[in-house]
Chain A
């Protein structure tokens, strides 16, 4: 498989040879083929914990919704705390109301009942499968976004950025990724000897042939790229909420605006999405900053949103019925949210499987009628021009028509 041959490994091999003939180690950091400003960008926002699609985008027109979810169903549009109606059948959680203008002008879409029946109800296996893109196979060495960015021309570390505490499984593999929680003050602290410290540490890390060495070199590369092109502040009056999702999306927009060749951004979101109990409270706490941050992101980017497709995803949906604790347990089909200037939005896409007992997966979960890989591939095709399958052993269908 071609994606297993990494340009990065090749470049590092060449770089080590260069050290051998006496070039300064910093010359390794000058990489070529920078992506042009205005290139298309894919942003993946991952809600860890199994976000409940049935309360993110509620099927308020389906009477089963109210009989299955007594006490945790969202009220109908117009009622106090009611959903924001989308199309007469579905409504988004009221805390997502800041997104209404973007749905109305066609830049926001929902894709419902997404997933895969081979996703398990284990958080950790399901996340693994969602990110490797190979449900049922834990041996896949790479993440689907690593395979995607391997096909892009750039090789610099800022081409792919992840706002997360660790490298997410989606990016696992040979391609360089800048993983950070914050890019503010991203510099070495060595007052009055910074240049010497960078030079000597670079020499140490350049001589280390392991992943520790390459991580060190990527660090210096990232420091220098970010010092060259600092991210501009939010524009168009965009106001991001405090907290991780707001901070990450503010920085993501900054990277897009800075034009330093970033093509793929991952935003890790943890919170109370694993709503086994008292779900209504958790949903408010999680969806409020999410809605505000996404709306700020779209506002901040203005016309640049045309070059961006942002996808909000999770590992699985939740049980259709309420459990004994005003919550829901691990389920199957979930709901994707897709935002971008070229998104064919203003619609709830996907095939609705229904909530009747016979229609539920295993008699308990919203079924998955759209394979997540079809949508992921569709987005990668739109943003990166990738037509061949990114998913070993699977030929994605045409998708759901979510991006023009």
Chain B
């Protein structure tokens, strides 16, 4: 593989599948014209997307602070259903219609890395702010800033119980409060250096001591972050090679973030995870080393790490491999984009994702959802995938419209001729990469019966094995 510019639709399809949620009709040609390198640079510097903003304008609570959401809830408890529906709907609309595809994929990636759970009490009211204020602004910024913003956001402090993490205090002859090591452990294990970095149970406790006192002001009214000095353990700490002197108060945790965000183990952990999401389930070690090197050299500049990833031979070589199985979100979004669908109501789309095992924002454990494509292959999910594609082509996904005739005509095909229709979809959706067996099977649909040829051909191709990988 020499340079992306010299390569054809296959490489552009690959790029659109890895940097985003797959091509919309016409997009493969458009990116070929613009040039993949310039398209990547566009994605690394997201521009305003007024068309998307217009689509999102029907979700007014997206901009609400946690306090506003709580006020709404306190006035009418039913309102939280609306708030969460708007929040989760926006994710689908952004994935399907947003121009800054890489940004949306990265928001998904980093939210998942720093996962919180929508059904966890207070997080119902704060999750929208969490993604908007702690994750989204930093996905092409510095890891250090992302880590601090997420770790001290009330949604995370609640999810990992740090709002209850306090120095034990003696009141009379009773001890109240005490260390809660939940967030301290996950900060090391999942958010920064990774479970194999060599830290000990003592490091978990010391990290938790740094985090004492960082909590939430009032869970039912303001829901704001607060540091309570009286709950903070102000003695000195030793965390995984970092010495924190006594008396640091709320700065202890900032020292800890500095230490962990610049640790080589964190660079490797993050580099490997990005490689797994964007390149291969088992990312090439050489790539991981290089990305980790960029991470360390640039002070954790995530834009530079992504630039290096898209400049890597390993990423481009994957365009000629067997492909990486899509997660349910990747599959559903790519089918909607490929079909040129317009998403009005999202209820049916979200229900499908839940049946496939990926309810939006509802991953209970702090690991987040798996980035390994192979983990999502199973017969049940496969059946839901095929049925989603067949339903979409037949116009039977509630709230979503897709015109398979326009799709086929847009590719220069005849919607009434199976082979011509299949070849048109191959051009527009698959960059002419369909396997001969898939193309041949779709070309064999009968021309009689009550279900139109165009519906059957489009349904089969969107349900095909070729559509399951990216």
Contacts and interface: CB of A to CB of B under 8 A. Distances in A.
Given A188-B390, A193-B451, A201-B460, A207 B376 contact: no
B365 A270 contact: yes
Interface string B368-380: 0010001111111
Contacts of B391: 189
Nearest to B370: A166
Contact of A276 (B180, B365, B442, B459): B180
A180 B357 CA distance: 9
Contacts of B445: 193, 196, 200
10 contacts: A120-B195, A121-B201, A164-B357, A166-B375, A191-B451, A192-B451, A193-B446, A276-B180, A324-B179, A327-B164
Contact of B365 (A48, A205, A218): A48
Contact of B465 (A188, A208, A218, A324): A208
Contacts of B266: none
Interface stretch (B2-10, B141-149, B181-189, B254-262): B181-189
A231 interface: no
Given A181-B355, A223-B383, 13 more contacts: A167-B375, A167-B377, A179-B378, A179-B380, A188-B387, A189-B387, A190-B459, A200-B441, A205-B465, A219-B379, A221-B379, A277-B180, A323-B178
A210 interface: yes
A204 B456 contact: no
Contact of B164 (A179, A208, A219, A324): A324
Given A122-B189, A166-B376, A192-B451, A201 B168 contact: no
B383 A186 contact: yes
Interface residues of A, number: 59
A122 to B, nearest CB: 5
Contacts of B181: 329-330
A8 B176 CA distance: 58
A121 B379 CA distance: 33
Q: Which of A122, A157, A189 has the most CB of B within 10 A?
A: A189
Interface in A155-195: 157, 164-167, 177-182, 186-193
B460 A329 contact: no
B165 A197 contact: no
A213 B463 CA distance: 12
B382 A216 contact: yes
A125 interface: yes
A21 interface: no
Interface string B132-153: 0000000000000000000000
Nearest to A209: B322
A123 B178 CA distance: 22
B365 A200 contact: no
Given A123-B365, A196-B456, A323-B178, A181 B380 contact: yes
A215 B377 contact: yes
A211 interface: yes
Query: 10 tightest CB-CB pairs across the interface, nearest first?
Result: A324-B178, A165-B357, A207-B437, A179-B378, A180-B380, A325-B164, A208-B465, A219-B379, A324-B177, A200-B441
A125 B194 CA distance: 11
